[in-house]
Amino acid sequence: MKPLDLDVFLCRTDNFGVLVHDPETGLTASIDAPDADAVIAAADRRGWTISHIFTTHHHTDHVEGNLALKEKYGCEIIGPINEAVAIPGLDMTMSDDDTFLFGEHPVRVIETPGHTAGHICYHFTDDKLLFAADTLFALGCGRLFERPPADMWHSLQKLAVLPDETAIYFGHEYTLSNARFALTIDPDNERLKARAAEIEALRAEGRFTIPTTLALEKETNPFLRAGDPAIRRNLLMETKTNEEVFAEIRKRKDNF
């Protein structure tokens, strides 16, 4: 089986567009549709035709291109069952642990409520790719608009058990601000300090920080590290639950 071919581009201001192309079948999925013109331009550059949109959640910056892309390509739109009414042009709904094939590539849906109540991530299990949108960012996690912190913590734990080498594609280029914040929570983490320096350099050159890996996030992302003794000591929360520590980190980021 030939490997999938990915194309990543920035759209709107800080949203990532991602196209996933299967050279075997010619299928091309757009992960969300932040901006129809940007998606079409990327597809044209590669000579690809959009066959699917894999929607993660209902926010405008993830679905605004749905109808225009459907009009142009007649593509099939897949999305979360718990947000079905809010997603334009939806053809097929998915819930937790549903699986389907993209060409011959197995995909598993993981429900990750938190940022929104019905947010889903797409895990290409054999390809070791995760499209995490606004649930898990490089060094960050999505803001909690529709669910309490404990739900998001639980959702992140569902991602944390995937294979360490999983490549994670996320929804926004927020990494520089996330890195600066992470250093306030976990200031003595040597891996985080090194990574933050790399990110400063990448962004100074205008380069993207996508993708990341699960191994790297587990070592450096404070939102996955609420159980870490040094972080707990730093926050004076050594006797609190992981959910409480996570909630405190999320609150501090909201005010950062």
- Report d(CA 240, CA 226) in Å as an integer: 10
Question: Residue 127 binds which one of Zn ion, Fe ion, none, with CB within 5 to 8 A depending on kind?
Answer: none
Residue 83 lies near Zn ion (rule: CB under 5 A): no
Of 35, 64, 134, 186, the one binding Fe ion by CB under 5 A: 134
CB of 120 closer than 8 Å to CB of 111: yes
**Which option in Fe ion, Zn ion, none does residue 114 bind, with CB closer than 5 to 8 A by kind?**
none
List of residues 6+ apart from 48 with CB closer than 8 A: 7, 19, 21, 26, 28
22 versus 134: smaller Cβ distance to Fe ion: 134
Cα dihedral 42, 178, 58, 118 sign: positive
Site residues for Fe ion, window 139-158 (CB under 5 A)?
A: none
Stretch that binds Fe ion, among 38-46, 65-73, 134-142, 216-224 (CB under 5 A): 134-142
CB of 104 to Fe ion, least distance (A): 30
**Interface mask (CB under 5 A) for Fe ion, residues 171-190, using x and -?**
x-------------------
What track of x and - describes contact with Zn ion for positions 118 through 147 (by CB under 5 A)? ----------------x-------------
Stretch that binds Zn ion, among 54-62, 104-112, 151-159, 238-246 (CB under 5 A): 54-62
Residue 80 exposed, middle or buried by CB count within 10 Å (0-12, 13-18, 19+)? buried
**Could you tell me the smallest distance in angstroms from the CB atom of residue 238 to Zn ion?**
33
Q: Which is nearer to Zn ion, 86 or 237 (CB)?
A: 86
173 binds, among Fe ion, Zn ion, none (CB under 5 to 8 A by kind): none
Applying CB under 5 A, which of residues 21, 58, 59, 195 lies at the interface with Zn ion? 59
Of 51-59, 64-72, 105-113, 197-205, the segment contacting Zn ion by CB under 5 A is 51-59
- The long-range contacts involving 36-45, CB below 8 angstroms and separated by at least 24 positions, are 36/64, 36/65, 36/68, 36/69, 36/72, 37/65, 38/9, 38/11, 38/12, 38/65, 39/11, 39/65, 39/69, 40/69, 40/72, 42/7, 42/9, 42/17, 43/19, 45/7
Least distance from Zn ion to the Cβ atom of residue 39, Å: 17
Letters for 44-63 (x = contact with Fe ion by CB under 5 A, - = none) are: -----------------x--
Binding site for Zn ion (CB under 5 A): 59, 134
Which residues form the interface with Fe ion (CB under 5 A)?
61, 134, 171
